[in-house]
Amino acid sequence: MSKSLTPAVRRQIIAFNPAEPGAPSVAQFCRELGVSRPSFYKVRGRFAKEGNAALNPRSRAPKEPAHRYDEDTAEVVLGVRKRLTGNGWDAGPISIWHACVDEGLFTSSIPSVSTIARILAAAGVVDANPRKRPRSSYIRFQRAAAMELWQLDALEYTLFNDTAGGQPVKVTIYQLLDDSTRYDVGTQAFADPENGDDAVSAVSAALTTHGVPQELLSDNGGAFNLARQGAVTQLQRLLADHGCRGITGAFRSPTSQGKDERSHQTLTRFLDAHKPTTLQRVRELLVEYREYYNHRRHHQSLPVRITPGQAWAACEHRPSNGVPIPHADLEAAALAYVDRSVADAGPGDGPPAGQDPQHTASGRLREAAGEIAITRDNPQIYLHGRIYKVPVHLVGSYMPVIADTEYALFDLSDGAESIRLPLPVQTKETGSRVVPLWKVRGARIRDPTPSWTHKHLAYEAEHYPAHVPDVSTKS
């Protein structure tokens, strides 16, 4: 390599003139000098551009060396970390960087996140987490717009006070987050263990403040959704009255409410830092928490790490159309689930001939196993013994997610919902094992063509005239 050649050798290369009488060829000259022809031409080319600078190897120092930080910068970084930690907030390099920039604490140049990480490491205050999965290993699923889906979950929190009768005093906190923006729409605390009355109270307040989402996702707790037991909860009826569908996560799949579960960690750490001793103090802290979480805490799962409040303000809102859902439909869906569970004896081959698919047992609801590929040669999906033909523009790889009342496919490339089918699947094509997706009641797909939408709406109008969908497509 030319950078390893001595100045004397470089001088000979520069002085060599192959046009002189009796001069050797370039190849012979290089052999005699012990250099390669590429090195020969590199030195001469550099001399033509840089002059005598070519007599010395180029510096190996990086063109943009890492910026050194001074004691003032380190002091600011460590001070902010101490404050964030003391208040119970995330205090990693990214969180510290945003806090310092937002508050204008850097008086000279702004250090990079990696520089802040080096400052923390040098001070011995790095929170190592070797078991944490790399961010690239996660597949994220979220709705495209605000108000399409809220997530609801509850957690028990133990107060920092003297025990009552030898038992720790606990409160129940209901967390409500918008799926798309992570915006906290209504976290509240109550004295009693998880129950339907408090769940209704928390959700009602959020509906009054922010409007009604299209759907609300919860776990299968008795306060939220009892469809698996064939019953309908008070909360489900409240949501239905406002035109919102209550849905649940997949069986034995707590990650379905992953956004709420992760937010529990943030909330618990915040409360622990302030050590509340009464329910009233918890409620006061929740007001402070929601203001900081929504409007000051930059969320690392949102684009360019904006705050949930910024995402909520910038994002398109797609709330419910407000048309009430009949309670009879809720009860029928719950009974249908039980029917499927009781009658399931195997994979199933679809509903028996002559039976209404809405009320037949078409196989036990199962968790999805692995990804699904829809190919151009075979554009279809297989569900409960039936084949459903899909438009060719949906060719791709998907992650299936099955809940009590729906089957959905999420695009592995961008996490967007691409296909959704209400469960149990309803179609008038009872005699066919292969059914076009537009012949399924309530089917929704991503980026539908005008032709697909027209056929789908016409089919539903003909066979389900009482069912007038607000949105039959998924954009």
In a domain? residue 471: no
User: Would you say 307 and 330 are in contact if contact means Cβ atoms under 8 Å apart?
Assistant: no
Percent with pLDDT over 90 in the chain = 26
Q: Which of 447, 451, 442 is nearest to 471 (CA)?
A: 442
- Nearest residue to 387 via CA among 429, 441, 422: 429
- The whole-model pTM stands at 0.52
Same domain for 158 and 117, yes or no, is: no
Please state the domain count of the chain.
Answer: 4
Q: In terms of domains, do 238 and 165 share one?
A: yes
- Residue whose structure tokens are 């998907």: 398
DSSP 163: -
The backbone torsions φ and ψ at residue 10, rounded to the nearest 5 degrees and listed phi first, read -60, -40
Quick check: 243 and 324 in contact, CB under 8 A?
Answer: yes
Identify the CA nearest to 199 among candidates 241, 154, 265. Answer: 154
Q: Assign 242 a pLDDT band (cuts: 50, 70, 90).
A: very high
> Which residues have a Cβ under 8 Å from the Cβ of 234 and sit 6 or more positions away?
196, 197, 199, 200
pLDDT higher than 50, residue 345: no
Task: Give the tokens for residue 111.
Answer: 């250090």
374 within 8 A of 381, measured Cβ to Cβ: yes
According to DSSP H, which parts of 136-242 are helical? 196-210, 234-241
Sheet bearing 434-436, strands edge to edge: 380-383, 386-389, 434-436
Q: Are 421 and 434 in contact (CB under 8 A)?
A: no
pLDDT at 409 over 50: yes
Same-domain pairing of 22 and 78: no
- Partner residues linked to 184 by β-bridges: 177
279 and 172 in a common domain:
yes
d(CA 132, CA 80): 24
Distance CA 379, CA 399 (A): 16
- Residues 275-299 have pLDDT tens digits of 999 999 999 999 999 998 898 888 7
Q: What is the pLDDT of residues 15-68, one digit of tens each?
A: 898 888 888 999 999 998 889 999 999 999 988 888 888 888 877 766 655 556
Same domain, 301 and 424: no
- Both 110 and 152 in one domain: the answer is no
Residues 298 and 204 in one domain: yes
Lookup result for tokens 């050590």:
275
Residue-wise pLDDT tens digits, 174-233: 999 999 889 999 999 999 998 989 999 999 999 999 999 999 998 877 788 776 667 788
Residue 401 has pLDDT above 60, yes or no: yes
Whether residues 282 and 158 fall in one domain:
yes
Same domain? For 266 and 155 the reply is yes
Q: Which parts of 358-449 fold into alpha helices (H)?
A: none
| DSSP-assigned beta bridge partners for residue 474 | 446
Whether the per-residue pLDDT at 458 is higher than 70: the answer is: yes
For the segment 302-318, what is each residue's pLDDT rounded down to a tens digit? Answer: 766 788 898 898 889 99
Nearest to 189, CA basis, from 207, 203, 206, 202: 202
Rounded CA separation 447/99 (Å): 39
Average pLDDT over residues 314-339: 84
Could you tell me what percent of the chain has a pLDDT over 70?
Answer: 77
Whether residue 335 is contained in a domain is answered as no
Distance, CA of 150 to chain centre? 13
Range name among 245-254, 280-289, 334-343 with the lowest pLDDT average: 334-343
| Structural domain contains residue 415 | yes
Q: Which helix (H) or strand (E) holds 178?
A: strand 170-178
CATH code, domain with 188: 3.30.420.10
State the DSSP code for 444.
E
Does residue 51 sit in the same domain as residue 75? Answer: no
Q: Six-digit token pair at 63?
A: 């063109």
Would 360 be classed as within a structural domain?
no
The pLDDT value recorded for residue 300 is: 64
Name the H helices within 212-251.
234-241
Q: Answer whether residue 372 is part of any domain.
A: yes
Query: Does 262 share its domain with 158?
Result: yes
- Residue 277 in domain: yes
> Collapsing DSSP states into helix, strand and coil, what is residue 158?
strand
Question: Which residue shows structure tokens 């569900």?
Answer: 383
3-class SS at 156?
strand
Instruction: For residue 424, give its domain range.
Output: 366-463
Of 469 and 345, more confident: 469
* Omega within 30 of 0 (cis) for the link into 347: no
* DSSP string covering 80-105: HHHHHHHTT---SHHHHHHHHHHTT-
| Shared-domain flag, residues 161 and 282 | yes
Q: Please, what is the Cα angle at 66 between 61 and 69, to 5 degrees? A: 135
